[in-house]
Amino acid sequence: MIAILLGAPGVGKGTQAALAAETHGYTHMSTGELLRQEVAEDTELGKSADIFMSRGDLVPDDVMVQMVAEHISNFPSEKVLLLDGFPRTIAQAEALDEACTSGAIGLSLYFTAPETVLTDRLLARGRQDDTHEVIAHRLGVYAKATEPLVKHYADQGLLREIKSDRAVEDIQVDVLSIVSGVLNQSNLA
Ligand code: ADP
């Protein structure tokens, strides 16, 4: 089962996914991490992605779709894949819908927090692309390109909102209970 983690930069998707993966054996796939690895290894893909990432722009859809398709094609349906950072555009979401068998996407967890909280968290994190200017740009790109996915998954009845302006442990409790609830349901079906 695929669980799509949706929400703005800094909302805590990665933190929640890493925790759930560690304690429950879920697989955490972060496209941002995969890209940063490519950059660190100075691969061809990394070199071209770095230009987009350092500006806070999205890496082109075809690159991302190919990267994710490779990872999800053999994923066992009874296990949980936490997809963190993908899809980020309607085109990516449509490609994912096509690549997945019906019912494979079990839910989308939609993490929400006020924008001031997001900015403060990103500035505190201090990654290379976490400067004031790039953060503002990334939030704008998120609103324009990624926010429409909320409706995409709500229309499919897959969206579950998680208020994320709370303690990490409290959010985690909600993440785990929602994911295991959907997992139990799909195993019964
Ligand atoms: P954040 O959620 O804080 O923006 P990520 O680690 O998820 O950080 O992503 C970092 C950067 O990697 C993004 O700003 C973007 O340039 C690139 N990226 C990651 N996932 C995708 C994707 N699905 N489509 C396009 N670009 C992506």
Provide Rg for the chain, Cα atoms. Answer: 16
Is the pLDDT at 186 greater than 90? The verdict is no
**Across residues 140-145, what is the average pLDDT?**
98
**Ordered domains of the chain (ranges, CATH):** 2-166 (3.40.50.300)
Task: Indicate if ligand 1 lies below 6 Å from the C-beta of 96.
Answer: no
Task: State percent of the chain over pLDDT 90.
Answer: 92
Strand order through the sheet with 2-6? 27-30, 81-84, 2-6, 105-112, 159-163
Task: Indicate if ligand 1 lies below 6 Å from the C-beta of 8.
Answer: no
pLDDT tens readout for residues 83-99: 999 999 999 999 999 99
Testing ligand 1's pocket by substitution, the residue of 88, 120, 134 carrying the most ligand atoms inside 8 A of its CB is 88
Task: Indicate if ligand 1 lies below 6 Å from the C-beta of 106.
Answer: no
Is the pLDDT at 7 greater than 90? The verdict is yes
Q: Supply the pTM of this predicted model.
A: 0.96
pLDDT tens readout for residues 35-48: 999 999 999 999 99
